[in-house]
Amino acid sequence: MVHHNAVMIFERAVSTLTANDRGGTTIPSPHLYPHQWSWDSAFIAIGLAHVDPQRAWQELRSLFGAQWADGRVPHIVFNPAVPADAYFPGAAFWQPMPPSGPPAGVVTTGLVQPPVHAIAAAHIVGRTAETHQMKHIHWLYPRLRAWHDYLFDRRRLDNGLVATLHPWESGLDNSPAWDAALAAVPTEVAGLAGIAALRRDVRAGNVDQRPTNADYARYLHIAQAYRAGGYADDDLTATPFCVADPLTNAVLAWAEQELATLATMVGEPPDEHRRRAAELEQAIHDHLYVPDLGCYAALDARSGRHAPARTVGGLVPLVLDAMPPEVRAAVLVTATGPAFKLGDPDVWGVPSYDLTAADVDRRRYWRGPSWINTTWLVWAGLRRAGGTTGDQLATELAADMITMVERQGFREYFDPLTGAGLGARDFSWSAALALDVLAAARRSAQSLP
């Protein structure tokens, strides 16, 4: 037994995922998020790999069933059985779907989220001796390739990085990383008066934890502009918001490496994937590392300026293999320093924002709280880096993640200083990634302190 309550946490996590299963797709949580989300499903598949690999494949396959003709994997796949007003903005907002869009009858958003999917697929492959999985890999590989082709071909900026066109695409919606870029976006939204009344996310008495109405007005403005252009990506920097995000790009570089492995499994050449991954890693280091911050930072492609903020996304390039050693050392200094305090017993997980920033807000969404998925990404980066510091910090983060969910349940996010659970309850990726952390501890026979 690696942790005295490991079996109990494992069982609770499985029952949370089972309760959120809507028949081949898993919702992120029962109240706030009643549809299928892209990167949530990838994290969910990573957890399901330890419990039911067939069901893990199904999670990815159901998501890719909504893949657009242009290759994009949409950020939300709407469940037509769910009432139209259960989530805002719902299916109607994103219409009409363009000819380059999803299969007939499927309604999605036109946005994407970070491409964790090939990482998830490789994760399932690595966690099971399942002999029937080749059929899933054969089915998924060309779809994953089309997804990455879309990002590399349609979303690539002149500097070689892939563009994020909406804060929702980053998955870190109201991160301070977007403040400067968003400041230039108007808050007037044509035809959508009274945003406060339309919002469904602030009805649970959690208004101090969610993005503000001004944030939502800007989110809607950007989405309307993208929709008005038919979700075409012909002129990326002409969209009202266009940034190169270190998390999205680092996840894509990692995922592209995993795609090379999957390519080999299905008899396709891996070299092109390896080349794209290496070039992207180089562009991340060349354009997103900011020595003054001691971490990576988002680059606003419209203004040419880096976000002047240390956020968890700026630590995620730790997952990259080819990180220059001096940069890795500097990022670890930042991660363990006052901004994020990794390894400090008074801090839980990886805070989403610099704890020393004047405007850090420990309860508001991506502006301070620790989340399990981004903590998991940093944990994965530390494990890949290895070395005594990396291994020890990874072990401590694993212990934080498990203790937070053990004490507070599978909450959406946590106060980084008290570990108190916040946001939605029974949140799927918190459960799924706890399964992965527990399984990793069991495999390495490493006890969690």
- Chain residues binding ligand 9WN by CB under 6 A are 28, 33, 37, 39-40, 168, 171, 173, 201
- Cβ proximity of 266 and 176 under 8 Å: no
Q: How far is the CB of 47 from ligand 9WN (least distance, A)?
A: 14
Closer to ligand 9WN by CB, 112 or 283: give it.
Answer: 112
What is the three-class DSSP state of 76?
strand
Query: Minimal distance in Å, beta carbon 10 to ligand 9WN?
Result: 22
Q: Count Cβ atoms below 10 Å from residue 356 Cβ, excluding itself.
A: 12
Helix (H) or strand (E) holding 422: strand 421-422
* Catalytic residue of the set 59, 70, 173, 201: 173
* Distance between CA atoms of residues 267 and 265, nearest Å: 6
11 is catalytic: no
Nearer to ligand 9WN, 141 or 231 (CB): 231
Q: From the CB of 350, what's the least distance to ligand 9WN, in Å?
A: 15
**Distance from C-alpha of 195 to C-alpha of 213, rounded to nearest angstrom:** 7
Nearer Cβ to ligand 9WN, position 30 or 160? 30
Give the Å distances, CA to CA, from 403 to 41, 374, 408, 424, 425: 23, 16, 8, 18, 16
In sequence order, which ranges of 229-352 are alpha helices (DSSP H)? Answer: 246-265, 271-288, 325-336
Paired tokens of 196:
């406060």
Whole-number minimum distance, CB 174 to ligand 9WN, in Å?
8
Report cis status (omega within 30 of 0) of the bond before 89: yes
Tell me whether residue 39 or residue 376 sits nearer to ligand 9WN (CB atom).
39
User: Which candidate in 40, 201, 256, 412 is catalytic?
Assistant: 412
How many other C-beta atoms can be found within 10 angstroms of the C-beta atom of residue 80?
Answer: 10
DSSP label of 150: I
Q: Which of 287, 274, 252, 273 minimizes the C-alpha distance to 377?
A: 252
Q: Is residue 412 among the annotated active site residues?
A: yes
Rounded least distance, CB 200 to ligand 9WN, Å: 9
Active site positions, annotated? 173, 412
